[in-house]
Amino acid sequence: MSIQIIPTATAAENALAETFRAAKATLPGNTAVAEQRAHAFEAFARAGLPNRRLEAWHYTDLRNLMRQALPLAPVPNARDIAKLATEAARLPSPRLVLVDGVFAPELSSPVPAGVTVTSLAAALAKGEPALTEALGAVWAEADDAIISLNAALMQDGLVIDVAPGAKLEAPLHIVYATVASEPAARFSRSLVRVGAGATFRFNELSLGQGGRTGQTNNVLILDVGDGADVAHTLSLTGTEPGSLRLETFLVKLGAKAKFDSFALITGAGLVRRQIYKLFAGADAKAALRGVSLLRGREHADTTLFVRHAATGCEGRQNFRYILDDEATGIFQGKIVVDRLAQKTDGRMLAKALVLNDDATMNSRPELEIFADDVACGHGATVGGLDADQLFYLQARGLPAKEAEALLLEAFAAEPADAIGDDALVAAYRAEIAAWLAGRAKA
């Protein structure tokens, strides 16, 4: 006789169930979308909040860490929009702004020719089967409770289409702004489809009124067409103590596509970024890089799954961490090479500098190879600053703190320098320098 133990729902899980019951009638979408939302929440309810028993969530036990679920942020009104107008105007163009998860055309700027933009809410209202299918496009490895929760509660987002052959060199900025007066939860889902042979650059960043804790669950689905060239950056900075930010990035690459991505994570609270990258077409190339700068009791988790399902593809994954005080960093990366994905070239490396004995770094790179003609490798290093390098710099007249700061900046800035856009490189280097300056003053 077998006994199935059903865990008691946590306070956060019960609150999420109540949130869905109260909001489902007002969330955007037609009847078919409402049914999809219901199925998605059922999937979340069956799984519950991820916990340490799940391999992918072993180091970020959300069931234990998420003690409460905040109410949905209200739809921003004209006064809320006005609060952000001055700050938004300072941001570079072209830009698309989401305020508390809702598209704000008043704060956005016109997009260039070759790009069309629709709010997710408007797209869901039309309920076109092809679009709703694309918005729900999640392959087996991404069968994740947090993604299901997002599908159930998504308030708005963006549907961005880049025309085949379009050449757009100036980056499009997607801005996530917060304005709610009370701590609140935000759920957005966006779809970016880049046509065959197009060139597209986009940058994700945050803008807030400060002093707000909150819970954010964003999903971004990127479909890169055959021969397209896409570059992406993400800035997860300025979060508040007690905040929770869950970011899911699903990337599908067509034949001979090129994709380059960089992310910077700083700030307080708990951040979990999970990336699912699928090489669906032959001879594609993709590079993922990231830097996490953590101090205090901050917790940042980057979990990466890469599947090579086509021949001749090249993947590069390079992530770096600096941890101080009682911070916790997590890197989990898994590369799977399917049987037919011959000539795969896949590399993955995670490096961490731990500056305090109370800080924790967990690294787990993995390879799973079913093909026999591949060049794949992975590695992880965790350590402190090199004493010989510090001595060398001090012997040439640099004070100890300046020598340390110079080495830390060089370590953190190297992945950012490969972005390929001088303005973005300067912006990310400035953020890295600001974090290091703040650490020196602490």
Q: Give pLDDT tens digits for 239-261.
A: 788 899 999 999 999 999 999 99
pLDDT band at 212 (very low <50, low <70, confident <90, very high): low
pLDDT band at 400 (very low <50, low <70, confident <90, very high): confident
- Taking every pair of Cα atoms in the chain, the longest distance, rounded to a whole number of angstroms, is 74
The radius of gyration of the chain's CA atoms, rounded to the nearest angstrom, is 22
Cβ atoms of 335 and 346 closer than 8 Å: yes
Is residue 77 situated within a structural domain? yes
CA angle 410–416–420, rounded 5-degree value: 130
* Total number of domains constituting the chain: 2
- 239: which residues sit within 8 A by CB, 6+ positions away? 206, 245, 267, 268, 269, 271
Ranges of beta strands (E only) in 19-171 are 95-99, 102-103, 115-119, 158-162
Cβ atoms of 267 and 237 closer than 8 Å: yes
pLDDT at 271 over 80: yes
> What gap in Å lies between CA 29 and CA 155, rounded to an integer?
10
DSSP conformational letter for 296: T
Q: Which of 237, 252, 281 is the endpoint of a domain? A: 281
Mean pLDDT of 290-317: 97
pLDDT band at 140 (very low <50, low <70, confident <90, very high): low
Mean pLDDT of 282-286: 99
Percent of the chain topping pLDDT 90: 78
Cβ atoms of 398 and 390 closer than 8 Å: no
Question: Could you tell me if 392 and 255 lie in one domain?
Answer: no
Identify the domain containing residue 415 by its residue range. 385-441
String of DSSP letters for 170-231: SPEEEEEEE--SS-EEEEEEEEEEE-TT-EEEEEEEEEE-SS--EEEEEEEEEEE-TT-EEE
Give 330's strand partners. 301, 362
Mean pLDDT of 194-213: 85
Mean pLDDT of 162-173: 95
Question: Could you tell me if 163 and 47 lie in one domain?
Answer: yes
Amino acid at residue number 60? T
Mean pLDDT of 83-98: 92
The pLDDT value recorded for residue 374 is 96
pLDDT at 301 over 80: yes
- The mean pLDDT value of the chain amounts to 93
Mean pLDDT of 187-206: 97
The pLDDT value recorded for residue 6 is 61
Q: Is 339 helix (H, G, I), strand (E, B) or coil?
A: coil
Mean pLDDT of 136-164: 87
The pLDDT value recorded for residue 267 is 77
pLDDT at 206 over 80: yes
Mean pLDDT of 39-54: 95
Question: Could you tell me if 414 and 268 lie in one domain?
Answer: no
Is residue 336 situated within a structural domain? no
Q: Is 159 helix (H, G, I), strand (E, B) or coil?
A: strand
> What gap in Å lies between CA 154 and CA 217, rounded to an integer?
9
- 56: which residues sit within 8 A by CB, 6+ positions away? 50, 144, 274, 303, 332
Is residue 348 situated within a structural domain? no
Is residue 209 situated within a structural domain? yes
Q: What is the pTM of this model?
A: 0.95
Is residue 90 situated within a structural domain? yes
DSSP conformational letter for 56: G
pLDDT at 1 over 60: no
The pLDDT value recorded for residue 210 is 46
Mean pLDDT of 407-423: 95
Is residue 19 situated within a structural domain? yes
Q: Which of 254, 281, 308 is the endpoint of a domain? A: 281
**More confident: 393 or 134:** 393
Question: Could you tell me if 274 and 404 lie in one domain?
Answer: no
* Residue 203 backbone phi and psi in degrees, to 5: -130, 130
Tokens of 327: 């911070």
> What gap in Å lies between CA 422 and CA 218, rounded to an integer?
28
Mean pLDDT of 176-199: 94
Question: Could you tell me if 154 and 274 lie in one domain?
Answer: yes
CA angle 282–159–223, rounded 5-degree value: 5
Is residue 337 situated within a structural domain? no
Tokens of 166: 């379009």
Q: Which of 258, 281, 304 is the endpoint of a domain? A: 281
pLDDT at 3 over 70: no
Give 364's strand partners. 332
Question: Could you tell me if 264 and 132 lie in one domain?
Answer: yes
Token pair 């340490």: residue: 52
**More confident: 129 or 299:** 299
pLDDT at 168 over 50: yes
String of DSSP letters for 125-170: HHT-HHHHHHHT---GGG--HHHHHHHHH--B-EEEEE-TT-B--S
Beta pairing, strands 115-119 & 158-162: antiparallel
Beta pairing, strands 95-99 & 102-103: antiparallel
Q: How many CB atoms lie within 10 A of CB 415?
A: 21
Is residue 343 situated within a structural domain? no
The pLDDT value recorded for residue 253 is 98
Mean pLDDT of 41-45: 95
- 253: which residues sit within 8 A by CB, 6+ positions away? 224, 259, 277, 278, 279, 280, 281, 284, 286, 313
